Structure 1
Amino acid sequence: MATHRFTDIPADALAVIEEHTGPVLKAESVSTGLNSEIAARIHTDSGALFVKGLRLEHPRVWTQQREAAIAPYVAPLTPALQWHTQKSGWDLLGFEDVDGLHADYAPSSLHLALVANAMQTLTAVPLPDLPLKTMPERLRAYVGDDAERFAGDQLLHTDWNLHNVLVVDDRARLVDWAWAARGAGWIDPALWVIWLIASGHTADQAERMTRWHTALADAPTVSLDTFVLAQHRLWDEIAGDTPDTWTATMQTAAATWHQHRHG
């Protein structure tokens, strides 16, 4: 469920931000993303910075803490975290400002190869010693003990929403690591298949787009089929709880892939 987004930074949060940045000359609210109460590009005498934040009592404040913890491990792939603070009732993150385009997943997009390269780079990032949720834990509710088929020791991003991929200087940068997890190496490209279908690819085209990924190509058929079923059930649940155009599109994409593989 989306979190209410402030269009102006509350005064108490602004005071905390300025302790790290100096006086804020201008703040531009960023509309994309679902989890943050504050998401803004701020301008100071020393340059621009992207700031996101939640109140400490917010039920998803753990997403801020997860991003802060994982940032040092994924530095080659993501804008640099410059500071993290918890003060005056706020949890705030200050990131390097990256002036890029949100990735385009359409069939003709030149961004597809860049996203694939970033996903391949992620496979070489060692699994950090952090209390990340495992994919069996996250998906057990949808396929029971068969979720153990998703176990592994790969660091996964898992949220391939096109707003979480910025294209900068012919390179894809990944943002919003709140849902990072531990699991089988084929899961990230498998999740991307659903976003590709939602962006206009057929199920067959989307699968062919991800065959370059060795881990997905080597995934046991029964494991992948079980994962597709879990995603279908997951998006049915999300669309039922939060009915809107976006969730309906993702629900349809997950159902399309399920139908393609299961008939």
Structure 2
Amino acid sequence: MATIRIGLDRLPPAARAAVEEHTGPLLTVEETAEGFNSEIAARVTSTTGTWHIKGLRTDHPRVWTQHREAAVAPFLTGLAPALRWRVEAAGWDLLGFEALAGHHADYAPGSPDLTEVASLLRRLGETSCPDIELRHAEQRLERYAAHRDDLRFFAGVHLLHTDLNNANVLVDDQALQGDRARLVDWAWATRGAAWLDAGYWVIWLIAAGHAPASAERWAAEIPSWHTAPAEGITAFAAANANVWSEISTADPDPWTLRLAAAATAWCAHRRTG
């Protein structure tokens, strides 16, 4: 379920003052609609710069997502916006990220953004997994795998993002080709098999209009995809069909139903193709 969003103006004065110790007095505040984990999400400017702020109350049930993002951020150079500062004040945990230029990736068939996302996932695959506390992919999928033995396919030692929603990928058209895309929102960073992020991307590609075979061809642009056994990919597709069935049943919005249909279509393709 999405977290209820509030405006930055509703922060306690002490928390706002703590932010402005890093930014200086804020000149503009643009609340952002994307994302589901944060109570505070805004792009702010002052005379000294521009930042994207994410925040949760320190007693929020998902405040662990703030801790996760702060812990993984130093290891994501060239993959994600830099974390410039962190504030814990007046009952709030607030992260100040570098504000990136660009648009949300377009995953539709034929989009020029697809090659940039593939390049981004290749770079992520070459990044060492930091020695920090992360959930394991096989733990996250334990309740959803068709067979317990399938979990062995998901285990690994690689750093994964796991939420390949196109709104989490920013593409800067002014940057060098092949290095234009960045991943935001690392709350669900996970340790697991190297090929899983390519698999998560497949589901979002199908939801954006690709046939399952076309989506898998894009996944094949990621070298780690070729390390995955065919039965492992099929097991992953089945597990995610169960994940999205549960999500869409609990929260039947158009986008969750679209993702559930995409995951089901991929699962059917794997089992019959």
Corresponding position: 1:164 with 2:168: yes
1:7 aligns with 7
Corresponding position: 1:254 with 2:263: yes
Q: Secondary structure at the match of 1:39?
A: strand
Letter in 1 for 2:109: P
**TM-score with structure 1 setting the length:** 0.97
Residue 132 of structure 1 is aligned with which of 128, 131, 134? 134
Residue 206 of structure 2 is aligned with which of 197, 220, 236? 197
1:46 aligns with 48
2:119 aligns with 117
Corresponding position: 1:175 with 2:184: yes
Letter in 2 for 1:166: L
- How far apart are the structure 2 equivalents of 1:106 and 1:155? 26
- Aligned-pair distance for 1:132? 0.6
- Is contact 2:122-2:223 (8 Å) kept? no
- Aligned-pair distance for 1:11? 3.6
- Aligned-pair distance for 1:40? 0.4
- How far apart are the structure 2 equivalents of 1:47 and 1:72? 20
The structure 1 segments of at least 4 consecutive aligned residues displaced by more than 6 Å after TM superposition are none
Taking structure 1 as reference, are residues 200 and 87 closer, same or farther at Cα in structure 2, changes over 3 Å only?
A: same
- Aligned-pair distance for 1:145? 4.1
- How far apart are the structure 1 equivalents of 2:17 and 2:3? 22
Q: Which runs of 5+ in 2 are unaligned?
A: none
- How far apart are the structure 1 equivalents of 2:68 and 2:24? 26
Q: Which runs of 5+ in 1 are unaligned?
A: none
- How far apart are the structure 2 equivalents of 1:212 and 1:31? 31
- How far apart are the structure 2 equivalents of 1:156 and 1:244? 26
**Count of residue correspondences:** 263
- How far apart are the structure 1 equivalents of 2:182 and 2:153? 29
Q: Secondary structure at the match of 1:189?
A: helix
**TM-score with structure 2 setting the length:** 0.94
Q: Secondary structure at the match of 1:78?
A: coil
Q: Secondary structure at the match of 1:142?
A: coil
- Is contact 1:9-1:38 (8 Å) kept? no
- Aligned-pair distance for 1:216? 1.1
Letter in 2 for 1:125: T
Residue 158 of structure 2 is aligned with which of 150, 154, 157? 154
Q: What do you get for the CA RMSD once the two structures are aligned?
A: 1.1
1:55 aligns with 57
